[in-house]
Every structure is written in structure tokens, then in C-alpha cells.
């Protein structure tokens, strides 16, 4: 890598809907080399050509078997040397939640971690969510042990610490801030992954997701659940990490990191 590389991530909450709200304009002005999107909620063939294969971008998508659900996509200025969309578990893979893309000596993981809430607003999906976390972590452990450069970006659907949401006391029984969910994400951090945003900002009030309820985003009553985690080998090369809270078009906002050569 001979120049600074920018990698961005955004849960678009439906790529077709986000396109109507300006996604392509943002894509062209974000000055990114690699962009991961989550919650695509469409098969590739359901996307307009200019979204599925915009000029100047190489694209790959991993869709869920269930239509209109989940899904991730990767846009890159250069094609990846390798891309893997399976964790070796049919029950996890059928939801289209992960892409592992290798660009020379950098492994970029674009992931949409499950929400723990079930269809009845219970916690029935928490075991599935934790299994996804643990399976992906095991997949990356060998890369970490070998001293490889790894960046895991996406919607983690968990806020690890009180500082990461506006109202922690009211949400200890809410999926995304349950003790067992937080413990698992903290385990990732203790295993060596570095929260890149916290390399540059240790204050609260910085969030990446807001409820769609009226006035919530305007009052900044949010959660920080979108992350870019760097392996120890990569972290020293992270020169900037940002949350782009001013970008609209989804209930999440984009995040980005700059990787120095």
C-alpha cells in the first residue's frame, strides 16, 4: 500500500431505500477505497444497475436466503484478491451476514451481526447472535495469531460500554446492551481487537444508530453499535477514525477509518 486508504462502513437499512435517499451521491463523495454496506435487504438482481455495478467500483454481494432480509455488500476501487462469504455453518451462512475480502496483506471483514431480539420482541435470537460472534472470532483467530492485518467493520448490534449509548440505565434489559452480549464484544476487545474510534475519542455522545421515533436523532439519543475493529498488526497504521453523523438516509450513519501506508 503506497498511499492512505479509506475504508467506510454503513448499515443502509435497505439499499434500495437508501439509494432513493442519496446513497450513490454519498458513495462518490465519501472518498473511500473500500465501502462495506449492511442490511442490503435485496438480491443483487433486484438492485438497479447503477447500484449493483456503479462505474469505477468492483462490487460483490452476499444475500440472505429470505427475501428482503439482511445481506451485505462490498464496493471497492480495486478488486479483492479473494472474497469468502461463508463461515462454514449453514444456519449462519443462510442469512448473508459476512464477507471476508483480502486486499494484498489486508483482510477486510464486512459483517452484519445479528440482533438478539426475536419476532415477539423477546431475546430468543440472542443465542444465535452469540454463536455468530464466536464463530467469526474463531475464524479470525488464526489471522490474529499470525500477525495479519485485519479490519472488522459493520453493524455489531451491541454497545459494549455505558459511554456507547445515551441512556444506559434504561437499556440493561434491551437486546444490544444485555450483559451477555456486552461480555462477548468486550471479549473481542480483550483478545486484541482495537476499537479504532476510541483510539482518537474517549468522550461520550458519539453514536451511529438512532431510533426512528420522532425527534430522537435530533436530540442525539443514540447508540454506538457500528464499529471498525483493527487487529494489533493493523492498529498502528490507523491514522483517523470517524463517525459521520451528519449523513442521512438510514437509521444508522456511516463510519470510516484511514489506513496510512
Structural domain harbouring 90: 5-259
> Which is nearest to 119 in space by CA: 69, 156, 182, 172?
69
Question: From the first residue on, what is the mean pLDDT of each consecutive set of 10 residues in the chain (261 residues)?
Answer: 90 98 98 98 97 98 97 98 98 98 98 94 95 98 96 98 98 97 98 98 98 96 98 98 98 98 91
CATH number at 238 reads 3.60.10.10
- Which of the 8 DSSP states describes residue 251? S
pLDDT of residue 121: 81
Q: Cβ of 171: how many Cβ atoms within 10 Å?
A: 16
pLDDT of residue 2: 65
Q: Is 160 in contact with 177 (CB distance < 8 Å)? A: no
Cα dist from 144 to 35, 131, 194, 234, 240, whole Å: 22, 19, 12, 10, 22
0.85 surpassed by pTM: yes
Q: Which three cell numbers stand for residue 23?
A: 446513497
Could you say which of 31, 93, 122, 155 is catalytic?
155
Q: Is 258 in contact with 34 (CB distance < 8 Å)? A: no
Q: How many domains does the chain have?
A: 1
pLDDT of residue 122: 92
- Judge whether 251 counts as a catalytic residue: no
pLDDT of residue 114: 98
d(CA 152, CA 118): 25
> Which is nearest to 209 in space by CA: 197, 223, 219?
223
Q: Is 218 in contact with 207 (CB distance < 8 Å)? A: no
Amino acid at each position: 500500500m503506497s498511499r492512505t486508504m479509506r475504508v467506510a462502513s454503513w448499515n443502509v437499512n435497505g439499499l434500495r431505500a437508501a439509494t432513493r435517499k442519496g446513497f450513490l451521491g454519498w458513495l462518490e463523495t465519501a472518498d473511500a477505497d473500500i465501502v462495506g454496506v449492511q442490511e442490503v435487504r435485496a438480491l443483487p438482481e433486484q438492485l438497479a444497475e447503477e447500484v449493483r455495478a456503479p462505474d469505477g467500483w468492483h462490487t460483490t454481494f452476499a444475500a440472505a436466503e429470505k427475501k428482503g432480509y439482511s445481506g451485505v455488500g462490498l464496493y471497492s476501487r480495486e478488486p479483492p484478491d479473494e472474497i469468502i462469504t461463508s463461515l462454514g455453518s449453514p444456519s449462519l451462512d443462510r442469512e448473508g451476514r459476512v464477507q471476508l475480502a483480502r486486499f494484498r496483506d489486508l483482510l477486510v471483514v464486512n459483517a452484519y451481526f445479528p440482533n438478539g431480539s426475536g419476532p415477539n420482541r423477546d431475546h430468543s435470537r440472542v443465542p444465535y447472535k452469540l454463536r455468530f460472534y464466536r464463530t467469526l472470532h474463531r475464524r479470525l483467530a488464526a489471522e490474529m495469531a499470525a500477525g495479519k492485518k485485519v479490519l472488522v467493520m459493520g453493524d455489531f448490534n451491541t454497545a459494549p460500554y455505558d459511554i456507547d449509548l445515551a441512556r444506559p440505565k434504561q437499556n440493561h434489559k434491551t437486546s444490544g446492551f444485555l450483559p451477555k452480549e456486552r461480555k462477548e464484544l468486550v471479549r473481542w476487545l480483550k483478545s486484541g481487537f482495537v476499537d479504532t474510534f476510541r483510539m482518537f475519542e474517549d468522550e461520550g455522545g458519539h453514536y451511529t444508530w438512532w431510533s426512528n421515533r420522532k425527534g430522537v436523532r435530533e436530540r442525539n439519543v443514540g447508540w454506538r453499535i457500528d464499529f471498525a475493529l483493527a487487529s494489533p498488526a493493523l492498529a498502528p497504521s490507523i491514522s483517523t477514525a470517524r463517525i459521520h453523523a451528519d449523513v442521512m438516509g438510514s437509521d444508522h450513519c456511516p463510519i470510516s477509518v484511514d489506513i496510512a501506508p
